[in-house]
Amino acid sequence: MLVATFPGVAADGERCPLGLAVDPLCIRDSFAYAYLSTETDNRITRFRLEPDEPTSYDEQVVRSGIEKADFHNGGGLVWGSDGGDLELVFCRFWSGWCPAVDGNARSTTRPR
């Protein structure tokens, strides 16, 4: 099942869609988040899941300006909580860099 298409995604080298996280409240608001490579940067975007129109991608940029490279882009998105508010946690990694060791995971409160 096609969920969405992402216009403007760079697909050369090792750039591409890097991560996808469906909002835990998706049943109510239909939001999902994508971590993407573009020609200018890597970014996190929010979009609505529209099963009847998977090509109608209404992008809202949540975070832009994330460092990009031609090769060894990587990362992911996951929902987490420290017992309080639910947060979208973003982690980027590439060759020779380990966020678990370096402590470089990033989080943002639910971007509503």
Classify residue 85: in a domain, yes or no: yes
pLDDT at 95: 45
Classify residue 1: in a domain, yes or no: no
Classify residue 59: in a domain, yes or no: yes
Q: How many domains does the chain have?
A: 1
pLDDT at 83: 64
Classify residue 105: in a domain, yes or no: yes
Cα(43)–Cα(68) distance, integer angstroms? 9
Classify residue 7: in a domain, yes or no: no
pLDDT at 3: 66
Q: In what order do the strands lie in the sheet with 75-81?
A: 75-81, 86-92, 106-109
Q: Which residues pair with residue 86 across a beta bridge?
A: 81
The helix/strand/coil state of 5 is coil
pLDDT at 38: 86
Q: What is the pLDDT along the chain (112 residues), one digit of tens a residue?
A: 666 777 777 777 766 777 788 887 767 778 888 888 888 888 888 888 776 776 556 778 888 888 887 776 777 777 776 666 666 666 665 544 444 444 444 444 445 4
The domain of 47 spans 17-109
